[in-house]
């Protein structure tokens, strides 16, 4: 099959997957126990029974789930409208864009750092296996990977705010609220230090371990021995022959992680009061805010699927076998 | 500048559709109301100077204070006040969160710039209380909404009011809200120029922010963190007797109710209820569950309501006495079996004991209770249930035995009394116990119309006694309201059971430490 045919098939599959996810999510939220109107208003608000009925009507909850509510939702989406959040009374699209930007900033930074550092560390450890360097890197990575997110975050929060004077949460200081983010970069950076550091350490271990075992496997191959026998330097062997093959599992892992990071690093966001998508998912679920939930899960599904699609595309460059099949 | 940290943020700034307490904290500072509750619990004039009602209690006349201006400089008139009240009356479903406060109102009109008349269908006994929650919206901003949905979707970011503070910035995504002093405030100039509200998503960060001085005041202090604050330099923790209570709900849905309740029939036996009351050590529960930050409770009307006026002081609570509990069950014919569980005929004293899973101290309370109940031969199995499922199982279904849950009553006893009325045990209603007592229901209606304060109190005392003796609820405790602030930076807070230390009266006079 040609590369074009391979891609067309993958894209077709991705579109079908998104459609299936949309339908499943729609039904899934509606089998949750409880009454969305009640969840939105909470337990301690004085709202008459009649007004609750009016809200139920306004939200379309008085109609049958299928087909009425389903068609209403799909029809709205077709018009490019994700609806209005029941709990926040803001357009779902606006909420998602704002939180997505926050999340991408934090998670993107953390991911890039952990990928670069993790891969480099894994490479060195694999190359220098069974030396003190390898042992140190391995121990550090295992500990980092096994550390509970919440715990590490709280430790950094306490230490960073006490000794380094770093902020305990949020994205900007109140004085900078309302200004465009690029004009307050130093302040933004101060707020990002601790959560990014936490995120980097937590993901770094995983990348390092995968990279190390991958490079070890590749280094045991016959063609590496052949390359060495041809008299190539260590660096040449590593760069020309080992690295490209060893990167395959890492690409898969990066794609998987990137897809899921859109769901936000909920623990990190909670510890550092960072208002990203993860927190929003949680609130929407607790409030049974269907428009917000549906929009959020659509975004999540699309990101995971696109990340996988990108991985598939990358494979066609990295792995000749994919091109050949 | 006063920096305030809290664990939430307003859901919206539109008073027609705000459900979270954070929104009301802001409304209280920015908006104005005709009346307000003083720290003593009594209602006093806020924008209203004087008021009176006709002898039949159907016509109320309010005179406004002089010199009140909206934040944009326009003077407030009686017609402006009438605007909000009429808007709410015309669209009760749109003004979802406040329409209860105008029920029974038939006509509101301004007779001149300073005078407002409210005519009601029946004498409204808690008029001053109701008006204290009716925030006066700025008419030009709230005109012309055609549907309830349009009104509720209005973000009201400008939030023009008449209060001591005015809106400066609200960034919903950075979750920072800034208020600034209103130089034209009719009640004097606030001492602090700015109040900044910042959201933290976990209590540890909030306490840490207070410790390092990033914030000056915390509005959400968890019970578990309170003790540690006492040792913190420059920080003053404040524990105020509050009105939030926790209760043990006993399924009281009548067996012949449609749909029929699913419960252990032994729960209908007054002897079993009384024995359970004897087997609960409320003091111990406050210590174990609330870290000592509360007091044992007895009736559904906490002593903090109305400065203690409404709480029935004559009620003698059932003491903790396991021997007595055993005796009661023994003489009621419940015999201990080989496994230590009592039974009468086929009916074993074995109950489900559920509680909402979003609460951190109910598990400890449920464990303690299970221990004590075990000693009088009642077997209970604690189970945490998702709050939505728990609500679905209680109202109006009655599929439970015992539930631990809590209420935050209004400053006026009307709402919490309504929770025990029969017609609230329907879809969307507030009754979870399913208590049905026509006599109680009638008294509830009577107190709504008893315009004489003492007469109303007598009725409310009787209702409390009724609910106490029949035990749809065993009230466990009244929780403290916990706050903390940097006492090395600010001083002069007023403490109230409704607003903690953040009422508008309090923040109006708070000043920096010299």
Q: B residues 444-483 near A, CB within 8 Å?
A: none
Q: pLDDT band at A232, cuts 50/70/90?
A: confident
Closest CB to A288 among B169, B388, B410: B388
Of B153, B199, B184, give the one whose Cα is nearest residue B73: B184
Using DSSP, state whether A32 is helix, strand or coil.
coil
Cα–Cα distance list, B71 to A27, A239, B75, B160, B178 (Å): 47, 69, 9, 6, 15
Residue B209: left (phi > 0), alpha (psi -120 to 50), or beta?
A: alpha
pLDDT at B13: 96
**Cα gap B376→B330, rounded to integer Å:** 9
Q: What angle do CA B52, B55, B57 make, to 5 degrees?
A: 70
Q: Do B172 and A90 touch (CB under 8 A)?
A: yes
Chain B hits for A47, CB-CB cut-off 8 Å, are 96-97, 100
Q: In this complex, how many residue pairs, one in chain A and one in chain B, have their CB atoms less than 8 Å apart?
A: 150
pLDDT at B339: 95
* Structure token pair of residue A1: 């099959």
Nearest chain A Cα to B97, which residue?
A: A47
**Cα gap A198→A201, rounded to integer Å:** 5
Give the residue from A167, A168, A271 with the most B CB atoms within 10 Å of its CB, the best one to mutate. A168
Using DSSP, state whether B166 is helix, strand or coil.
strand
Using DSSP, state whether B118 is helix, strand or coil.
strand
Chain B nearest CA to A84, separation (Å): 8
The string of pLDDT tens digits covering residues A110-129 is: 999 999 999 999 999 998 88
Cα–Cα distance list, A229 to A4, A232, A239, B27, B123 (Å): 38, 7, 16, 79, 102
Closest CB to B175 among A46, A47, A275: A275
* Structure token pair of residue A123: 């490479």
Chain A nearest CA to B228, separation (Å): 15
What average pLDDT does the segment A195-204 reach?
92
Q: Which residue has the tokens 């998602």?
A: A96
CB atoms near residue B199 (< 10 Å) = 21
Closest CB to A161 among B20, B208, B407: B208
Give the residue from A33, A190, A279 with the most B CB atoms within 10 Å of its CB, the best one to mutate. A33
Nearest chain B Cα to A188, which residue?
A: B174
Give the residue from B171, B385, B403, B448 with the most A CB atoms within 10 Å of its CB, the best one to mutate. B171
Using DSSP, state whether A2 is helix, strand or coil.
coil
Question: Which of the pair, B245 or A233, is modelled with greater confidence?
Answer: B245
Q: Do A53 and B204 touch (CB under 8 A)?
A: no
Chain B hits for A37, CB-CB cut-off 8 Å, are 428
Using DSSP, state whether B466 is helix, strand or coil.
helix
Give all strands of the β-sheet with B115-120 in edge-to-edge order: B48-53, B59-64, B115-120, B105-110
pLDDT at B342: 97
Q: Say what angle helices A290-318 and A3-30 make with each other, to 10 degrees.
A: 160
pLDDT at A246: 87
Of B239, B266, B282, B284, give the one whose Cα is nearest residue B328: B266
- Determine whether B474 is exposed, middle or buried from the number of CB atoms within 10 Å of its CB (0-12, 13-18, 19+): buried
Question: Which of the pair, B267 or A275, is modelled with greater confidence?
Answer: B267
Of B407, B424, B415, give the one whose Cα is nearest residue B473: B407
pLDDT at B133: 95
B311 touches B301 (CB < 8 A): yes
**Cα gap A274→A199, rounded to integer Å:** 13
Of B44, B42, B137, B43, give the one whose Cα is nearest residue B97: B137
β-pair type (B350-356, B379-385):
parallel
For residue B259, is the peptide bond before it cis, meaning its omega torsion is within 30 degrees of 0? yes
**Cα gap B105→A182, rounded to integer Å:** 53
Give the residue from B176, B220, B385 with the most A CB atoms within 10 Å of its CB, the best one to mutate. B176
Bridge partners of B294, per DSSP, are: B479
- Determine whether B305 is exposed, middle or buried from the number of CB atoms within 10 Å of its CB (0-12, 13-18, 19+): buried
Q: Does B410 touch chain A (CB under 8 A)?
A: yes
Nearest chain B Cα to A162, which residue?
A: B212
* Structure token pair of residue B430: 């507030």
Q: Do B96 and A49 touch (CB under 8 A)?
A: no
Per-residue pLDDT at A224 exceeds 80: yes
Please provide the average confidence, as pLDDT, over all residues in chain A: 88
Q: Say what angle helices B453-470 and B438-449 make with each other, to 10 degrees.
A: 160
A259 touches A112 (CB < 8 A): no
Q: What share of chain A is helix, strand, coil (3-state, %, to 5)?
A: 80, 0, 20
Q: pLDDT band at A31, cuts 50/70/90?
A: confident
Q: pLDDT band at A265, cuts 50/70/90?
A: confident
pLDDT at B382: 97
**Cα gap B475→A168, rounded to integer Å:** 39
pLDDT at A264: 60
Task: Look up the ipTM and state it.
Answer: 0.89
pTM of the model: 0.93
Per-residue pLDDT at A262 exceeds 70: no
**Cα gap A50→B221, rounded to integer Å:** 35
pLDDT at B219: 92
pLDDT at B427: 86
Per-residue pLDDT at A251 exceeds 90: no
Chain A nearest CA to B458, separation (Å): 24
Closest CB to A51 among B14, B96, B209: B96
What average pLDDT does the segment A286-307 reach?
89
Using DSSP, state whether B271 is helix, strand or coil.
helix
Give the residue from B8, B153, B388, B423 with the most A CB atoms within 10 Å of its CB, the best one to mutate. B388
**Cα gap A161→B207, rounded to integer Å:** 12
Chain A hits for B3, CB-CB cut-off 8 Å, are 174
Q: Do A46 and B410 touch (CB under 8 A)?
A: yes
Cα–Cα distance list, A70 to A26, A30, A84, A290 (Å): 7, 11, 16, 12
Residues 6 or more apart from B70 whose CB is under 8 A from it?
B76, B80, B138, B160, B161, B162
Per-residue pLDDT at A323 exceeds 70: no
The string of pLDDT tens digits covering residues B27-62 is: 999 999 999 999 888 999 999 999 999 999 999 999
Per-residue pLDDT at A325 exceeds 60: no
Q: Does B388 touch chain A (CB under 8 A)?
A: yes
What average pLDDT does the segment A220-243 reach?
87
* Structure token pair of residue A248: 């395959």
DSSP-derived secondary structure letter, B350: E
**Cα gap B106→B123, rounded to integer Å:** 12
CB atoms near residue B131 (< 10 Å) = 27
Q: Do A33 and B176 touch (CB under 8 A)?
A: no
Per-residue pLDDT at A260 exceeds 80: no
pLDDT at B113: 96
* Tens of each residue's pLDDT in chain B, 514 residues: 999 999 999 999 999 999 999 999 999 999 999 999 998 889 999 999 999 999 999 999 999 999 999 999 999 999 999 999 999 999 999 999 999 999 999 999 999 999 999 999 999 999 999 999 999 999 999 998 999 999 999 999 999 999 999 999 999 888 999 999 999 999 999 999 999 999 999 999 999 999 999 999 999 899 989 988 988 999 999 999 989 999 999 999 999 998 899 999 999 999 999 999 999 999 999 999 999 999 999 999 999 998 899 999 999 999 999 999 999 999 999 999 999 999 999 999 999 999 999 999 999 999 999 999 999 999 999 999 988 889 889 988 999 999 999 999 889 999 999 999 999 999 888 999 999 999 999 999 999 999 999 999 999 999 999 999 999 999 999 999 999 999 999 999 998 878 899 999 999 999 999 8
């Amino acid at each position: 099959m040609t590369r074009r045919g391979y891609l067309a098939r993958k894209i077709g599959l991705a579109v079908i997957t998104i459609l299936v996810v949309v339908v499943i999510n729609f039904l899934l939220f509606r089998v949750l126990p409880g009454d969305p109107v009640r969840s939105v208003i909470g337990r301690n608000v004085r709202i008459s029974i009649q007004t609750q009925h009016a809200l139920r009507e306004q939200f379309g909850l008085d109609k049958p789930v299928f087909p009425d509510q389903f068609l209403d939702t799909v029809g709205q989406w077709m018009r490019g409208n994700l609806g209005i959040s029941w709990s926040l009374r803001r357009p779902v699209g606006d909420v998602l864009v704002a939180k997505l930007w926050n999340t991408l900033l934090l998670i993107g930074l953390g991911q890039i750092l952990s990928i670069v550092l993790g891969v480099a560390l894994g490479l060195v450890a694999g190359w220098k296996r069974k030396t003190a360097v390898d042992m140190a890197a391995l121990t550090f990575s295992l500990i980092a990977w096994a550390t509970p997110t919440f715990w590490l975050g709280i430790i950094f929060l306490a230490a960073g705010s006490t000794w380094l004077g770093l902020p305990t949460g949020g994205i900007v200081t109140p004085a900078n609220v309302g200004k465009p983010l690029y004009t307050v970069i130093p302040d933004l950076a101060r707020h990002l230090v601790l959560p990014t550091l936490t995120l980097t350490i937590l993901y770094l271990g995983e990348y390092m371990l995968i990279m190390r075992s991958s490079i070890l496997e590749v280094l045991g191959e016959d063609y590496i021995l052949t390359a060495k026998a041809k008299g190539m330097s260590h660096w040449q062997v590593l760069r020309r022959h080992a690295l490209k093959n060893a990167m395959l599992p890492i690409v898969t892992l990066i794609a998987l992680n990137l897809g899921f990071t859109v769901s936000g690093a909920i623990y990190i966001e909670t510890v550092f009061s960072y208002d990203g998508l993860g927190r929003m998912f949680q609130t929407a679920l607790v409030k049974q805010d269907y428009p917000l939930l549906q929009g959020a899960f659509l975004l999540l599904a699309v990101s995971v699927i696109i990340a996988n699609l990108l991985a598939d595309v990358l494979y066609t460059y990295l792995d000749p076998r994919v091109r050949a099949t | 500048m006063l920096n305030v940290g809290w664990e939430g943020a307003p859901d919206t700034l539109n008073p027609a559709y705000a459900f979270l307490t954070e929104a009301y904290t802001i409304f209280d500072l920015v908006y104005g109301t005709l009346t307000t509750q003083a720290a003593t619990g009594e209602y006093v004039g806020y924008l209203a100077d004087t008021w009176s009602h006709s002898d039949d209690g159907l016509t109320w006349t309010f005179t406004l204070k002089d010199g009140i201006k909206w934040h944009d400089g326009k003077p407030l008139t009686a017609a402006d006040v009438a605007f909000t009240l009429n808007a709410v009356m015309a669209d009760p479903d749109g003004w979802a969160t406040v329409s209860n406060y105008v029920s029974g109102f038939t006509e509101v009109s301004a007779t001149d710039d300073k005078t407002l008349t409210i005519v009601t269908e029946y004498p409204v006994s808690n008029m001053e209380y109701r008006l204290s929650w009716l925030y006066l919206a700025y008419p030009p901003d709230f005109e012309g909404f055609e549907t309830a949905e349009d009104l509720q979707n209005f973000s009201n970011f400008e939030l023009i009011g008449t209060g001591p503070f005015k809106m400066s910035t609200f960034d919903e995504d950075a979750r920072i809200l800034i208020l600034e002093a209103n130089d034209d405030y009719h009640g004097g100039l606030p001492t602090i120029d700015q109040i900044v509200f910042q959201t933290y998503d976990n209590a540890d960060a909030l306490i840490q922010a207070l410790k390092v001085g990033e914030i000056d005041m915390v509005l959400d202090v968890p019970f578990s963190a309170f003790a540690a604050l006492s040792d913190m330099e420059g920080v003053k923790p404040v524990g105020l007797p509050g009105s939030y209570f926790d209760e043990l709900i006993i399924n009281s849905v009548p067996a012949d109710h449609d749909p029929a309740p699913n419960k252990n029939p032994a729960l209908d036996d007054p002897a079993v209820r009384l024995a359970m009351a004897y087997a609960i050590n409320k003091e111990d529960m406050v210590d174990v569950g609330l870290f000592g930050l509360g007091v044992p409770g007895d009736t559904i009307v906490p002593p903090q309501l109305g400065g203690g006026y409404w709480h029935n002081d004559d009620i003698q609570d059932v003491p903790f006495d396991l021997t007595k509990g055993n005796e009661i069950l023994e003489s009621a014919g419940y015999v201990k079996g080989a496994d230590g569980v009592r039974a009468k005929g086929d009916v074993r004293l074995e109950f489900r004991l559920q509680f909402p899973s979003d609460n951190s101290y109910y598990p400890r309370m449920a464990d303690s209770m299970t221990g004590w109940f075990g000693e009088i031969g009642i077997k209970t199995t604690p189970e945490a249930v998702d709050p939505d499922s728990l609500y679905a199982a209680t109202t109006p279904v009655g599929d439970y035995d015992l539930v631990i849950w809590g209420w935050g009553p209004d400053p006026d006893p009307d709402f919490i009394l309504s929770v025990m009325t029969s017609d609230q045990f329907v879809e969307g209603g507030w009754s979870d116990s399913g208590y049905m007592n026509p006599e109680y229901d009638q008294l509830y209606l009577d107190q709504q119309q008893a315009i004489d304060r003492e007469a109303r109190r007598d009725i409310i005392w009787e209702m409390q006694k009724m609910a106490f003796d029949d035990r749809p609820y065993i009230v466990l405790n009244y929780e403290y309201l916990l706050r903390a602030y940097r006492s090395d930076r600010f001083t002069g807070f007023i403490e109230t059971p409704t607003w903690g230390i953040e009422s508008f009266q309090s923040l109006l006079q708070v000043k920096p430490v010299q």
